[in-house]
Structure 1
């Protein structure tokens, strides 16, 4: 029985080796930057060897099987002899294929990793409310209601984990300001610890919002006004212009997206 198990393992290793040779030949035929091929092959082979050994050690031992009886050919109705070796080979090929394919599956990054990568390790972010965080797009609408876009909540909470976030908007009266703060509070943005009410800023003019941004000197500013994006392009390291229609690019440091969540791949 032990001999049979060893023989099965040797068959499996051989088929994995054959399959790996094909995979690695395809992988390293591509241009991989400045790394020499010998280094990459060595690293890849080491990683695969560790993975394979770990999988073998992790897999639970199979229950002992009864001593197999001596296999005899099974005659078919046409007189052709059929052996069970074909089924065993197929199973081994399938196991080898599954092990390698699982290893080569791309690992999907988390939203937090995407946010950190997209913001290029920025530490301070300023963001307009209207048309970005709120459903409303004008100060006049805020005199009636303020509605936080549910699809943007997860992104904002992730940003607060890595960055010092400031939200800002132009309002026409004190009641609008209260509505916005209440909407943000009801959405749970003040409960995570990353955003506080003191970091939600209000002004009465568009120039006031521009002044806020310049005084705070953020690494990123998120804005829906093309005019303000243009004005700040010389002063802010990076900007994200939120616009449903892809606008003309103002500068190399200005990016655009239909929504904040789309920029981070959430839609």
Structure 2
């Protein structure tokens, strides 16, 4: 807008100058003594126009210099604050209001494009569609079959991830138990947690056995894309038969095979903690 206004002003000055040139061409051949009041007024008007035009053209730069002078004065009087701000704001950070608005728009777009838990689950599982998972130490708070004789408790933090896996994958849960009562406790705990109401998991896909080898046999028969386990021996036995395995362990063990991953918990593997 400023450039357009300036161009219009210059065109106006050119037209005015052409008009004055025409007038002066008829004035200068005469002698100064013969100038009448109209001629003197025209000359005076021309002089005033020149001065006014010169000031108009000079004022933006002068104003700019005054603004720059005030900015430099303000920056020098708050040098400590400027140095502190420079230390806080890294290079490449937006420095103008336009840049800040653009950055905010990018941040909002990034926020809108944040992947959902379902998308994260599919990506982390490499689009695997069948998953087998041990219950003890992964889905349940308890860590041994002996504890299941007393109670079974679903870990609240794992529930959201478990339900998302059940929506996307053919999920089978399995565990070694010592008696039928333990089976009932496990199924009741899963039911009360709402695992069977999501539509992705049914009671028939919760399998029980009496030995560790029995769990390994279940896995090999089902041929899943992923098996989730806490027992390192079972992980080692199945590594050559299963495409991917996830070892749930509080400590990070040495990786035994390229297809074996580890995580402190199932929810942490999917970035939910």
- Alpha-carbon distance between aligned partners in 2 of 1:120 and 1:225, rounded to the nearest angstrom: 23
Partner of 2:105: 102
Q: Provide the TM-score with structure 1 as the length reference.
A: 0.65
Whether 1:218 aligns to 2:224 is: yes
Partner of 1:203: 209
Partner of 2:199: 193
Q: Provide the TM-score with structure 2 as the length reference.
A: 0.64
Deviation at 1:99, TM superposition (A): 2.2
In the TM superposition, 1:151-166 aligns within 5 A as 151-166=157-172
Whether 1:184 aligns to 2:196 is: no
Whether 1:265 aligns to 2:271 is: yes
Structure 1: where are the runs of 5+ without partners? Answer: 8-79, 87-91
Provide Cα deviations, 1:51-92, integer angstroms capped at 9, x if missing partner.
xxxxxxxxxxxxxxxxxxxxxxxxxxxxx9779xx9xxxxx9
SS at match of 2:173: strand
Distance 1:246 1:96, change over 3 A: closer
In the TM superposition, 1:231-246 aligns within 5 A as 231-246=237-252
Partner of 1:129: 135
Partner of 1:28: none
Partner of 1:251: 257
Whether 1:138 aligns to 2:144 is: yes
What RMSD in Å do the two structures reach over aligned CA positions? 2.5
SS at match of 1:116: helix
- Alpha-carbon distance between aligned partners in 1 of 2:257 and 2:174, rounded to the nearest angstrom: 23
Deviation at 1:104, TM superposition (A): 5.4
- Alpha-carbon distance between aligned partners in 2 of 1:82 and 1:255, rounded to the nearest angstrom: 62
